[in-house]
Chains A and B, each alone.
Chain A
Amino acid sequence: MTTLRLPSGVDGTRTLTTDDARRWLRTRLFNSPANTVISLVLLAVLGWASWRFFSWLVLSANFDVVRANRRLLLVGRFPLGEEWRIWPVLYGFGVAVMWSWGAWGRVTRNALIAFAVFGILVLPIMAGASGTLQLAPAAVLAALAYFAARASSRSAGGRTRAQLVAGGLWFLLLPSSLVLLLIDGGVDPGLWGGVYLNVIVSSGAVIGALPFGILLALGRTSSFRALRVGSTVYIELMRGLPLPVMLTLAWLALRHFLPGWGGLENVDLVYRVTIAFALFTAAFIAEALRGGLNAIPRGQREAASALGLSGTQSLVLIVLPQAVRNSLPALAGEFIGLFMMSTMVAVVGLTDMLQAARATTEQPEFFGRQKEVLLFVGLVFWMTAFGLSRLSSQLERALSGAGSRRA
């Protein structure tokens, strides 16, 4: 008998049997003639599609196309010999991720399994070139960072310090990766590409959008009418504009409205697109935060006032931390959505990972191999999104404080 353990009710778990499964099928899928027909048709379509997919995957899929084009997929037309501008960022990213992991939580068995699956799925495709030599030390450094963070966060004070270090690492990551792209002659932003472009654009947009979004949310909940109206108008305007329109505006029209200080009107397309993403995302962040702000009981502000905290102190120390925590799931959703939507840079002719994937299908030697490439691209995006979503739920638990330190 097949058994499956599911959490249920107070007693923790209960055993699910095949009888339960049969009852579920009978009552949900086959409870009337019409439903039976629909269920059968759907099952047939689903079965056919998955049969085709898995037989393709096992029998005829050939990921040579990904291996041959991995450089294009990862960094686009980034000039040969300039990779040193990117590897340190990967190192830094690995260290930042694993240090934070160590400072806030623990790598569980499930996470280890996920790492293993990731390795089995992706590494064979990526391995075998100069990059392999770089990946190994990156992995070692990241692991060291994890254990160092674990070791230093044994005491409560050390934990706080480790978390501050983690914040510092993340804070430095994007500026330093930009510096690396620009120093020593730099690389023309028009040549930035692949998944690296997706990462640069979306993280740049997050960093711009978060403070702006917070200001907008505060504006919209403010008691000062002009601020409230202004923020509301901005938010509703942005939410009503399709992103491709925004991007096209940034591409073709933005330069006409920017002042001419220090060549600001000639700022590169990648930056303009990032700004457009930030302006767009800020409106959604503001709406996510507004919910979190409204959920804070009035008593919190009153308690802060009664203790003599000023309005600003109460906002920064009492209200905002709770609002961000309350809206963390929604915020994480916005950030994940932003990363997904960064594929829209195709609208303005930039070569992100998806466009790189499309370019490979025009190579004669890999004709008809777009399925493999798209599967790979989808996998990379899915893993990133899944990782971010796990991260946000971890962070939520860490920030709630509850239960974790019960004496």
Chain B
Amino acid sequence: MTTDQPTTMPSTIEATDHTSIATPAIICRDVHKWYGRFHALKGITVDIAAGETVVVFGPSGSAKSTFLRCLNRLETHDSGDIIVNGVTLDHHVNNLAKVRRDVGMVFQHFHLFPHYTVRKNITLAPQVVGHIPAAEANDRAEHLLERVGIPQLIDMYPSDLSGGQMQRVAIARALAMEPKVLLLDEPTSALDPESIRGILALLEDLAATGMTMVIVTHEMGFARQVADRLLFLEEGRVVEEGTPGEIFEHPKEERTRRFLEQIL
């Protein structure tokens, strides 16, 4: 275990003191996951503070996505604790619904609903999960599309959009639930270079608004600029974590240094 214990770590796992800015939005304690006999996550311990932007990087097969997907329980972990916004992720369905309302997710391949318009993609969850009135959901959708820069596409279907536009809609869709935490799973990996720049600029703005974000990405330039902290994952372990300055200028681990050399 090479993970440093952050000094902000609460003394008890149940700590839910939201008034303190240093209260972690996400707490992971020795999280393990197996796929059959394959040990995917080998004891991840990490805290993510509210308002923090954390970039997770590492070679393929290092279980970055699995880790991310455990944070809103798209995957279930087998041992250890994950506490998101004060709610422990376990087998209680009530917990799950509450967590997912507060945790937005953006996928590599967007996963927009192809049978609905952009408008309906964004308003659907606020209406049926958040129970807000149609008119309000609609206002929110228009406002969010304005924010992600494609207000003119509101009545299009996903199949009419480019990849970059689809990812903007996907981000708007996640934000429409007004989440406290946003998980982004390789949000730019399926995009062309120009769209990548657009999406990264958008995420940078989002980070500046104080949104708590966990981003799996290979865009190291972006990570350097935007991340408060980086996690280097390899084979289901956090090999090293630190600020961009620490990771890029003085990596402590040999493995981190070699990986960065390869991709930079």
Contacts and interface: CB of A to CB of B under 8 A. Distances in A.
Interface of A: 156, 297, 299-300, 302-310, 313, 317-318, 321-322, 325, 399-403, 405-407
Contacts of B124: 307, 309, 317
Contacts of A322: 113-115
B159 A300 contact: no
B157 interface: yes
Interface in B79-134: 97, 100-101, 103-105, 107, 109, 111-115, 117, 124-125, 128-130
A146 B101 CA distance: 44
17 contacts: A297-B111, A300-B111, A303-B107, A303-B112, A305-B74, A305-B100, A306-B72, A306-B74, A306-B103, A307-B100, A309-B129, A313-B128, A325-B115, A401-B115, A402-B159, A405-B157, A405-B160
Nearest to A325: B115
Interface in B140-155: 152-153, 155
Contacts of A302: 74, 107, 111
Nearest to A297: B111
A306 to B, nearest CB: 4
A310 B97 contact: yes
Contacts of B155: 156, 405, 407
Contact of A309 (B111, B128, B153, B157): B128
Nearest to B69: A302
Of B125, B173, B177, chain A has the most CB atoms within 10 Å of the CB of B125
Contacts of B174: 306-307
B1 interface: no
A407 B156 CA distance: 7
B214 to A, nearest CB: 13
B145 to A, nearest CB: 13
A386 to B, nearest CB: 27
Of B105, B128, B152, chain A has the most CB atoms within 10 Å of the CB of B128
A300 B113 contact: yes
Interface of B: 72, 74, 97, 100-101, 103-105, 107, 109, 111-115, 117, 124-125, 128-130, 152-153, 155-157, 159-160, 173-174, 177
A401 B105 contact: no
Determine the main DSSP class of A at the interface with B: helix
A300 B124 CA distance: 14
B113 A303 contact: yes
B182 to A, nearest CB: 11
A269 B196 CA distance: 66
B100 A402 contact: no
Contact of A407 (B130, B152, B159): B152
A308 B100 contact: yes
Contacts of A313: 128-129
Contact of A308 (B109, B115, B129, B159): B129
Given A325-B115, A399-B115, 11 more contacts: A302-B107, A306-B100, A306-B103, A307-B100, A309-B125, A318-B113, A321-B115, A401-B159, A402-B160, A405-B156, A407-B153
Contacts of B156: 405-407
A270 B246 CA distance: 81
Contacts of A156: 155
Of A303, A310, A405, chain B has the most CB atoms within 10 Å of the CB of A303
A313 B97 CA distance: 12
B157 A308 contact: no
B90 to A, nearest CB: 16
A308 B160 contact: no
B150 to A, nearest CB: 11
A406 B129 contact: no
A401 B74 contact: no
B177 A307 contact: yes
Contacts of B111: 297, 299-300, 302-303
B174 to A, nearest CB: 8
A317 B109 contact: no
B160 A403 contact: yes
Contacts of A401: 114-115, 117, 157, 159
A304 B153 CA distance: 22
Contacts of B74: 302, 305-306
